[in-house]
Amino acid sequence: MHCIHKILSIAQRKLQVYNKVDTINKTTGMLQNIICRLNHNSEELFVRDEKEQRAYTEIASRFLGIAVGGHRTFILQPYIKWGRDKKRNTSPELQMAESVALINTLPNWCVVGAKYAPLLSLRKKQLLGSGALENLKKELYKSENPTAIFVSTNLLKFNQIMELEKIFGLPVYDRYSIVVHIFREHAKTAEAKLQVALAEIPYIRKKIFETCVNHSGIINVTEETKLMLDSKEKKLKYELKKLQQHRQIIRNQRKKHGFPTVAVIGYTNAGKTSLIKALTDDSSLQPRDKLFATLDTTAHQGILPNRLKILYMDTIGFIQDVPETLIEPFVVTLEDAIIADVIIHIYDISHPDMEAQYQHVRQTIKPMLGTQPVIDVANKCDLVQSDCIPKDAIAVSAKTLTGIDLLRLKIQEVLLTTTGLLNMRMRVKSGSPAAAWLYKMTTVTNAESDPNDAQYLILRVLATSLDINKFKKFLKQ
């Protein structure tokens, strides 16, 4: 009987071991299965993302065109001859000059011919009448082997592009697509690339929808294409929202440290970066004579004559005749300018189209601004007669530094009024913690020995009322 019990006990222990091994094997199998599924899902997700990216690249190339490699470009400059839509603050010649500048901004692109197109409307299927089309064919034939046509209007309909491409056998670009390609070329940071990618989607979606409307007016877009665009846009907006939150944290830190901010805005290539370089003496800034050279909002420290440290914000430039959807993604970074204490609006006073450029920037920023004061700065004053400069503008030359000291004084005057900084006189012991606190937390504009007691200093400081309260609490510690 004892032997039987012993045998049963051994058998039970073996059975328990077998059960444990079986459980371990099952568990291991489950883990391996989960890992395989995870790996499979990850690979599947990667393949799907790669597939979507290839599909998007193909669609983007179709509707935006290809810029790499360059083009020998023929520019067609349409303009409305008369009526409500006629532009009265510029001219076709000035519009053409900007169109040429846009093409010359793209690497390996050049202009080989140009023609004006006076129209009553931009809505015709072929854009031009039959006679104008024949004349354009002749102009193209005379040009030096053009490989693309740039119709310099903000947004062509896709059927207009298709008709013109069919007639001339060349790819056709509008202003939206050209500016997007310039953005792509100049976007170096992840932030800028994100905003450019988001700016492309409304254009591509619009073109896709225009091509997919059948004769009965029903839009026939594949669900896969629609989902792909929606998914990409949603991801980009989510990333942009995170960027917005990050910028908010940075702005709060700046406010906490009491740095006043001055935003420099203006038309593209008006000299924003050059002006900030002149104001800050920052040799690392390298302005470029190109349209949309700056796509990011960046901060640069400067010091005013009263020794107040401030931040100058460089911003993306504005341009006429492009849809709002192109600039909309950049509003996130423009917020840094919108909430600045002071706005500097710089414009190129020597530019032939200065009036139209100035009005465009003013109209664009008007809905964005609150009560901040705006200082008008007429740049490149050395290239015009003094009587050409408006009396309410500060005349400067960022290149020769003319008027820069005067501008610093004006910024100082406006900032002191706007920010509510107090000009205080403080008597503290020389070398004391109180003196150190004031030097660290406020702007000390002057320091003199107390004539009645050499152990004390008379400090002139710029500080907010909040700083003064903090100083009082510090003294009580």
State pLDDT tens for residues 169-194. Answer: 999 999 999 999 999 998 888 888 88
In this predicted structure, the answer to whether residue 89 has a pLDDT above a threshold of 90 is no
Maximum alpha-carbon separation in the chain? 124
- The closest of 403, 397, 365, 363 to 379, measured between CA atoms, is 397
Better-predicted residue by pLDDT, 345 or 323: 345
Domain spans, the chain: 50-257, 259-418, 421-475
In this predicted structure, the answer to whether residue 39 has a pLDDT above a threshold of 80 is no
Q: Could you give the CA distance from residue 84 to residue 142 in angstroms, rounded to a whole number?
A: 35
Q: Could you give the CA distance from residue 225 to residue 191 in angstroms, rounded to a whole number?
A: 26
Is 0.85 surpassed by the pTM of this model? no
* 50-257 CATH pick, 3.30.70.270, 3.40.449.10, 3.40.50.11060, 3.40.190.10: 3.40.50.11060
Helices (H), 348-450: 354-365, 404-419, 433-441
Looking at residues 224-241, what average pLDDT do you find? 87
Query: In a 10 Å sphere around its CB, with 0-12 CB exposed, 13-18 middle and 19+ buried, how is residue 368 labelled?
Result: middle
Confidence band of 42 (pLDDT split at 50, 70, 90):
very low
In this predicted structure, the answer to whether residue 45 has a pLDDT above a threshold of 50 is no
Asked if domains 50-257 and 259-418 share a fold, the reply is yes
pLDDT > 90 in the chain, percent? 45
In this predicted structure, the answer to whether residue 289 has a pLDDT above a threshold of 80 is no
User: 259-418: which CATH topology?
Assistant: Rossmann fold (3.40.50)
pLDDT of amino acid 18: 41
pLDDT of amino acid 329: 78
Q: Could you give the CA distance from residue 384 to residue 378 in angstroms, rounded to a whole number?
A: 10
Q: Could you give the CA distance from residue 151 to residue 79 in angstroms, rounded to a whole number?
A: 11
Better-predicted residue by pLDDT, 77 or 213: 77
pLDDT of amino acid 99: 96
